[in-house]
């Protein structure tokens, strides 16, 4: 393998990991800020609801962890942690897109989970006994954040375990004529 291609592939893999964690954490920050505004309003009137609204504020933070998990998976499977940098250019491109895809999905879901959490804070403020139902709305958004994480993990595993030369794009190029 060409040493320059390996370096470029490694750089793209690192960029993919950076996008996964960076976008996810940025979305978590925005989602938490949105939920915090509603929670602060609730607490100004009803400080005894701190524990319940804290849960609502914390929920959008999970996407940052999902981006971090994706970045670690990219580092582990590409050999960047172990020091075996056998990342082809094509694998690096694929890893960049996996990182971006997961990061973008986590960014968007974290923001919308913050919006759902803010609405749930309003429900809790009016009807404290509805906490169980209120937590359902942000949890529905969480479903898609988890789905994105799982899709990213499965893609990373496929990229390095099932493709003949540990290169997804070569695998697709080889498999395409067979399928026709």
**Which of 12, 142, 22 lies closest to 70 in space, CA to CA?**
22
pLDDT given at position 126: 96
pLDDT attached to residue 83: 76
What predicted TM-score, i.e. pTM, was given to this entire model? 0.85
Tokens 């499965």, located at residue: 154
Domain count, the chain: 1
Task: Provide the phi-psi class of 87: left if phi over 0, else alpha when psi is between -120 and 50, else beta.
Answer: beta
Task: Locate 17 and state its tokens.
Answer: 């990991």
**CATH code of the domain in which 70 resides:** 1.20.120.610
Q: Over its length of 180 residues, how does the chain's per-residue pLDDT go in tens digits?
A: 688 888 888 899 999 999 999 999 999 999 999 999 999 999 999 999 999 999 999 999 999 999 999 999 999 888 878 777 678 888 899 999 999 999 999 999 999 999 999 999 999 999 999 999 999 999 999 999 999 999 999 999 888 775 454 455 555 565 556 555
Q: 52: which 2 tokens? A: 């319940």
Contact 125, 49 (CB under 8 A): yes
Structure confidence at residue 10 (pLDDT): 87
User: What number of other Cβ atoms are within 10 A of residue 102's Cβ?
Assistant: 34
The residue segments making up the domain with residue 65 are 3-179
Task: Look at residue 160 in the predicted model and tell me its pLDDT.
Answer: 75
Length of the chain: 180
Cα gap 117→136, rounded to integer Å: 9
């Amino acid at each position: 393998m060409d040493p320059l291609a390996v370096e470029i592939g490694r750089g793209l893999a690192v960029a993919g990991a950076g996008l996964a964690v960076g976008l996810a954490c940025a979305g978590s920050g925005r989602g938490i800020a949105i939920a915090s505004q509603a929670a602060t309003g609730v607490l100004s009137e009803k400080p005894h609801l701190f524990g319940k609204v804290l849960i609502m504020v914390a929920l959008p933070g999970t996407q940052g962890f999902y981006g971090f998990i994706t970045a670690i998976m990219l580092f582990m499977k590409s050999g960047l942690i172990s020091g075996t940098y056998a990342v082809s250019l094509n694998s690096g491109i694929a890893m960049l897109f996996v990182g971006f895809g997961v990061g973008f999905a986590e960014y968007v879901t974290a923001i919308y989970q913050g919006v759902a959490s803010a609405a749930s804070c309003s429900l809790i403020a009016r009807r404290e006994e509805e906490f169980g139902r209120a937590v359902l709305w942000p949890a529905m958004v969480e479903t898609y954040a988890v789905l994105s994480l799982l899709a990213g993990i499965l893609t990373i595993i496929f990229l390095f375990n099932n493709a003949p030369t540990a290169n997804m794009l070569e695998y697709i190029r080889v498999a395409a004529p067979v399928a026709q």
